[in-house]
Amino acid sequence: MRTKKAFDLLFVSLFCFWAYCLMPLFSWAACTGSSPNWISTADYSSVKSCVSQAAPGDVITVSGNATWTSTLEVTRGVQLIGSGNPTITGGLTLIYWIPNAAAQTVHDTLTISGFTFDANNSSLGGAGIIRVYNNSTYGHVNLIVTNNTIRNASRSARGLYLGGAVWGVASSNIFDRIPILFGIYGNDFNSWNNLTQAYGVAENFYVEDNTIQFSSSFPSGYSGWTESGQGGRVVVRYNTWDYTNADAPGEFWDIHGLQTPLIANPPESCQNYSTMVSEYYGNKIINQVGAYRWMAHRGGWMLMFNNTLAGNTSPYNGITQYYCNSCQQMGSFNQKADNTYAWRNLANGTEKPLTVYSPGAAPYGCASDPIIENADFFNYNAIFNGSTGVGCGPLAARPSTCTTGVAYWATNQSCSDLSGMVGKNPIMPISGTLYKCTATNTWTAYYTPYQYPHPMRESSTPISISAPRNLRY
């Protein structure tokens, strides 16, 4: 009897240990809930389970910290929301969104908010910590990346790596010790063949109100660099780059043009198409050391205005092209730097205009179709009479006469003092209208900045936007 009693006591003790000690551990690592709300711990298996069960637009709330050794793949738009700032660590692409046909057809939105993503000082093979690839067969998708910390990558790793027709916004994030802030690319020929170049529209990816910093020593080379190309479309506005602790960054912003996949050994045709359209305004760079170039504009349309830079050098803004339009593999698009306007870009208080530069000897460049100031691009002209460049001031001060192509930024804000208009969360967001001379002595309202803050930032619920403009598919 004693033996049986002892056995019973042992059984009860083991059961209690399981029920009150071990079972909570097993239930902790789980996905619970149901559509439209799911709760998950940060371990990869649990988050993956929630993602696989969730319907488009569902909210998946994640808590805790975890190290992932696999990439989380997402095919439909869901909302990944961090509770208590969960940290996901891993030396690989952590989230990879490959929208399926259904997601493309209804233009799903993937939201990622409230996390810390730590790349563990990996180069990611040149990929991104967060990556999206949309092949644009059925149309665009939307991405919202907000209130995250994305940190600790090396060499050519990107914080965000977007490919295809991806609209939306990355806002209020901290990018800490990231070599390339983003790479935003399109689908080469398909983008140029199906999308229309336009300024001030929703059909771009917006990068706004982010902090780019280096909390500890970071080697020279890529340091918070930006990159676009291959039919990409991007607007970069109201961000602050602080280069404290970063060695000489070399250059800051790069807009790729028409080029071959391997520039060092080019084949006969250019398979990498130019960036279609880009806008850079209201950004602030501080504490930089040893930079030689601010902007490298190599293709497509660009607006660059009301940006400031401070540090021990005053790097130049360059404009160039590597190949003639005839090099493109298919189509006959004008992919050179064109319809480009730059004004009030101040390096240590001094205007830095766009200047034509050459990347080197043949086969680079296009001697038969050179880039020409006041034809392909226009710089700020402090004494503006409507004949050359870009003017700035009140609408009432705009000249009555003008030469085709020149522009005038009509604003009630200061054209000399940019205080309060640049950097993250500006006190006075930039306002005005760019008037373009579309025919001799004919001014046309051409551009106003897109709504700020970006409308997709206003809600954490699934967002429906109007049918995209300027699309042909």
Section 313-328 average pLDDT: 93
pLDDT-derived band of residue 25, with 50, 70 and 90 as boundaries?
very low
Q: Please report whether residue 193 resides in a domain.
A: yes
pLDDT-derived band of residue 364, with 50, 70 and 90 as boundaries?
low
Q: Per the structure, how many domains does the chain have?
A: 1
Q: Please report whether residue 397 resides in a domain.
A: no
Q: Which amino acid is at 88?
A: I
Q: Please report whether residue 374 resides in a domain.
A: yes
pLDDT single digits (tens) 372-420: 999 999 999 999 999 999 999 999 999 999 999 999 999 999 999 999 9
The strand ranges marked E within 238-325 are 240-242, 251-255, 277-281, 284-288, 293-297, 301-311, 316-319
Beta bridge partners of 42: none
> How far apart are alpha carbons 333 and 100 in whole angstroms?
29
pLDDT of 16: 42
Whether residue 472 has pLDDT greater than 90 = no
Measured CA to CA in angstroms, residue 171 lies from 95, 448, 452 at distances of 17, 20, 11
Section 195-208 average pLDDT: 97
Contact 303, 281 (CB under 8 A): yes
| Two structure tokens written together for 79 | 């909302």
pLDDT of 220: 81
Q: Please report whether residue 462 resides in a domain.
A: no
The helix/strand/coil state of 14 is: helix
pLDDT of 358: 77
> How far apart are alpha carbons 270 and 16 in whole angstroms?
69
Query: Comparing C-alpha atoms, which of 261, 269, 271 is closest to residue 189?
Result: 271
Contact 134, 140 (CB under 8 A): yes
> How far apart are alpha carbons 339 and 303 in whole angstroms?
9
pLDDT of 306: 98
> How far apart are alpha carbons 364 and 359 in whole angstroms?
7
> How far apart are alpha carbons 211 and 350 in whole angstroms?
24
pLDDT of 170: 98
Question: 12-21, 130-139, 246-255: which has the minimum mean pLDDT?
Answer: 12-21
> How far apart are alpha carbons 192 and 440 in whole angstroms?
30
pLDDT single digits (tens) 219-245: 988 899 999 999 999 999 999 999 999
Structural domain of 238: 34-378
Q: Please report whether residue 422 resides in a domain.
A: no
Q: Please report whether residue 458 resides in a domain.
A: no
Whether residue 27 has pLDDT greater than 70 = no
Which of 24-38, 39-53, 267-281: highest mean pLDDT? 39-53
pLDDT single digits (tens) 62-92: 999 999 999 999 999 999 999 999 999 999 9
pLDDT of 269: 78
pLDDT single digits (tens) 176-185: 999 999 999 9
| Two structure tokens written together for 225 | 């660099």
Dihedral (CA of 163, 65, 150, 219) sign: negative
Query: CB burial class (10 A; 0-12, 13-18, 19+) of residue 340?
Result: buried
Contact 215, 235 (CB under 8 A): no
CATH number at residue 284: 2.160.20
> How far apart are alpha carbons 163 and 132 in whole angstroms?
6
| Sheet with 442-447, edge to edge strand ranges | 390-393, 407-410, 433-439, 442-447
Q: Please report whether residue 387 resides in a domain.
A: no
Q: Please report whether residue 436 resides in a domain.
A: no
Section 316-343 average pLDDT: 94
- pTM given for the model: 0.91
Whether residue 471 has pLDDT greater than 60 = no
- Contacts of residue 52, Cβ cutoff 8 Å, sequence gap at least 6: none
Contact 208, 247 (CB under 8 A): no
Beta bridge partners of 79: 59, 111
Measured CA to CA in angstroms, residue 269 lies from 68, 324, 389, 414, 458 at distances of 40, 10, 34, 47, 44
- Contacts of residue 449, Cβ cutoff 8 Å, sequence gap at least 6: 200, 237, 279, 281, 429, 430, 431, 432
Whether residue 297 has pLDDT greater than 60 = yes
Give the mean pLDDT of the chain: 90
Whether residue 264 has pLDDT greater than 60 = no
